[in-house]
Amino acid sequence: MRRAQIAQSILELVTTKDRAASTVGDLVEESQAHNALWFWAAITRIVASSIWGDFRAALCKVLVLALVAYPLSLSIVLLIAGVYGVVLEFATLGQPPHPSVMRGIELAAAFFVGRWAARRVPGREIAIAFAMMAMDLIMGLGVLLVAKYQGWTGDLGLNARFALNFVVYFATAVYTRKRTAIL
């Protein structure tokens, strides 16, 4: 029974509560003839299909929001980092900002911009999270290609950055979806 509750919680991220309960009930009945792997594969297929359907249904809106969200997030980071850098310059006589502080600013900007975007596509919050992650990945790969072309051989730390941003985008989408369901 525990797997049914977990599966229902997962499906509620991409569909209504009633539909998730109905779907899980059908899958639990059907899974008696199959194994647990079949059950979780079916849940995964339903989630992927639902996200893709949401993405396709609002393709233009989701893509435009993702295209607007990335520069908006970057602008917020640059603005806050600039103010932080000016304050730090006066306070510590020229010490550069610590990388973890800059990463925190970037994650906070990703959260607020992700929430802003998710609120503009009610019911399709997870789709915008994936679109924003795709935009982040494309832009990151562009930075990587330019850096490699310029002969830079250092580590850009892009893998950890993408993983953290995806977690933030996804968590923001879930938070926004749950919050709008309560209201």
What pTM value is reported for the model?
A: 0.73
pLDDT of residue 45: 93
Contacts of 108 (CB under 8 A, 6+ apart): none
Mean pLDDT on 165-169: 84
Q: What are the tens digits of pLDDT across the range 61-80?
A: 888 888 888 888 888 888 88
Q: What is the mean pLDDT of the chain?
A: 81
Mean pLDDT on 44-64: 88
Q: What are the tens digits of pLDDT across the range 24-39?
A: 998 888 888 888 888 9
Range of lowest pLDDT (6-10, 83-87, 123-127, 139-143): 83-87
Query: What does the domain layout of the chain look like in residue ranges?
Result: 2-51, 58-182
Pick from 46, 99, 105: nearest CA to 76: 105
Q: Is the pLDDT of residue 179 over 90?
A: no
Q: Is the pLDDT of residue 107 over 60?
A: yes
Give the burial string for 91-104 (b: 16+ CB within 10 Å, else e): eeeeeeeeeeebee
How far apart (Å, rounded) are the C-alpha atoms in residues 129 and 57? 15
pLDDT of residue 46: 92
How far apart (Å, rounded) are the C-alpha atoms in residues 25 and 130? 28
- The dihedrals phi and psi of 57, each to the nearest 5 degrees, come to -65, -35
| pLDDT category of residue 95 using cuts at 50, 70 and 90 | low
Q: Is the pLDDT of residue 99 over 70?
A: yes
